[in-house]
Amino acid sequence: MCGIVGYIGKKHRAQSVLLDGLRRLEYRGYDSAGIAFHDEKKVISCRAQGKVAKLEQKVLKTEKEGVVGIAHTRWATHGKPSVRNAHPHRAGKIHLVHNGIIENYSLLKKELEKKGHVFTSDTDTEVIAHLIEQENKKYDFEHAVIRAAAKLQGAYGIVVMHADEPQKLIALRESSPLVLGIGKEAFILASDASAIVSYTKRVVYIDDGEMVVLTPHEYHVENMERIKQNKSEEILQWDEKQAQKEGYAHFMLKEIHDQPHSIADAMRGRIDVAHGTVKLGGLASVSDRLRDIKRVIFVSCGTSYNAGLVGEYMFEEFSGIPTEVEYASEFRYRTPIVDENTAVIAISQSGETADTLAAVREAKSQGALTLGIVNAVGSTIARETDAGIYNHAGPEIGVASTKAFTSQLVILALFAVLLGRQRSLSLVRGKEILAELAKIPKQVEAILTQEKAIKKLAKKYAKYENFFYLGRKYNYPIAIEGALKIKEISYVHAESYPMGELKHGPIALIDKQFPSVVLAPKDSVYDKTLSGIEEIKARSGKVLVVTTEGAKEVKRHADDVIILPQTIEMLTPLLAVIPLQVFSYYVGVSRGLDVDQPRNLAKSVTVE
């Protein structure tokens, strides 16, 4: 949540670099935006409520450029979206942007007010600027930043600029992502590599408790004790083109259409059909421990949690390991029972999800094997878990996840086969699963050829304000994901249930104005699902069914039908979710909404 950018270089281009970075980070927050840059005479600051385009109009009017600056796009936590609450925040000569939450800001604010500090916003962030200003009365800029940080409780990624030191930027990190891009005669700081990739692919990931000091000529990283840290450079593995719309109306639609490729990339080089097994290089270092695992717990949030629910079915059926799925936000607040024979697997698109990272740290402290399934190379979860698997889905800009989710399902299927083959899964069954998995990209392409028909259905159903999403077994989690998607994108009320639970209360809501989206592939629970559809129709409910080729019976009861290619039961979620994504997208478009940047949401949830 929130996007931060900092730039320092030898050339006068701070304004353009910062604005470009904000545009690329806008999916992290779009309540307000701001920029401050030094033109070698003074600091020029502009802030605006709303999206980055409004800020850009203000900045262009200044007709100024600088060699150093900071910028921010906000997702509100403390204080409503407004110009006064937009970053950068200022205290005297200190200008600052911040991603995270300062938990003890109220106490700090009272202490500072007693010392004469006057606050002009409702944010927790402004406290940091005033703390640094206070410490700067006795200490130099760098030391003042360190002393101020020592008083903070919470999460922060901070970039600070001093009006009297136009040749310096300082940044700190504690539980909030921060990456340094190393360019030609320039350095760029950001909360996400997407703001950096168009300028350089050379990056350094800043760790918790580290401060980076930048000048136009060099950088150094030190810890809070002022001891310099040796940091290794890494090379970003994706390019600028991947973060562009490429002719699509929205990033979400582009990313839906990316899925034949992203699914193929998730399994590339990892399938050994001949031996009915899987090669996951990221797990090689813990292969012996995996053989001894007696229990698996998935910890995740949002869409990634739904992926974990599918993984639970896969792991238990094919590896025989008892598996649970936990909301990461709740995991550490009860008393989780884990030990060295437990694998706690964190699923996170960004690899920076605050709740999931906290769950990993709790599990690790209790001796569990911690593993990560993440899409962002070099992210905190990727670095802090014992081992892990990358999705290789490429950057996902649309706030509502699509291709990252399906890549997670691929990884979970591969992982289930790997664990199964270590145990009791037969060679024949392993080969069958992997052969069917290899067909999925082409089958997704076939589903996407139905886009016009699904768009037509979306327009038909866009008038409804309530939906049920229903499924059984492997497709119950996909019903949950489908309901989440239409809530995120269309602001429609949608509830998901296992089909068998419908008659235990929720069916009371069914009438002509309460349609149901039912997942009914021809699988082991097909007949049971048909019975549920008949119960809905008996109460005048409308039914849109997602089913598979050859399921003739369901057509007699459904109002509308979307047909999927046939696959094995465990892989039906990979196909069933695709039309639900397309459906949600076009319902949102039909309702005139911004599907890439839904209200109140941000892509990466880096605060609790």
What would the 3-class secondary structure string for 214-280 be? ECCCCEEEEECCCCEECCCCEECCCCHHHHCCCCCCCHHHHHHHCHHHHHHHHHCCCEEHHHCEECC
Asked if 245 contacts 24 with a C-beta cutoff of 8 angstroms, the reply is no
The C-alpha torsion from 396 through 397 and 398 to 402, rounded to 10°, is 0
**Catalytic residue numbers, as ranges:** 2, 603
Of the candidates 73, 99, 105, 431, which has an alpha carbon nearest to the alpha carbon of residue 278?
431
The C-alpha torsion from 332 through 338 and 339 to 340, rounded to 10°, is -90
Of the candidates 27, 23, 3, 302, which has an alpha carbon nearest to the alpha carbon of residue 159?
3
In the sheet with 32-38, reading across from the earlier edge strand, the strands are: 43-49, 32-38, 68-74, 3-9, 186-190, 179-183, 202-205, 234-235
Asked if 69 contacts 22 with a C-beta cutoff of 8 angstroms, the reply is no
Structure tokens at 110: 């009272």
CA–CA distance, 322 with 315 (Å, rounded to integer): 8
Asked if 266 contacts 405 with a C-beta cutoff of 8 angstroms, the reply is no
Three-class SS of residue 98? strand
Helices (H) and strands (E) in the chain, counts: 19, 27
DSSP bridge partners of 323: 296
Q: CA–CA distance from 475 to each of 7, 76, 253, 263, 496 (Å)?
A: 47, 35, 23, 18, 11
Cα Dmax for the chain: 80
CA–CA distance, 159 with 169 (Å, rounded to integer): 7
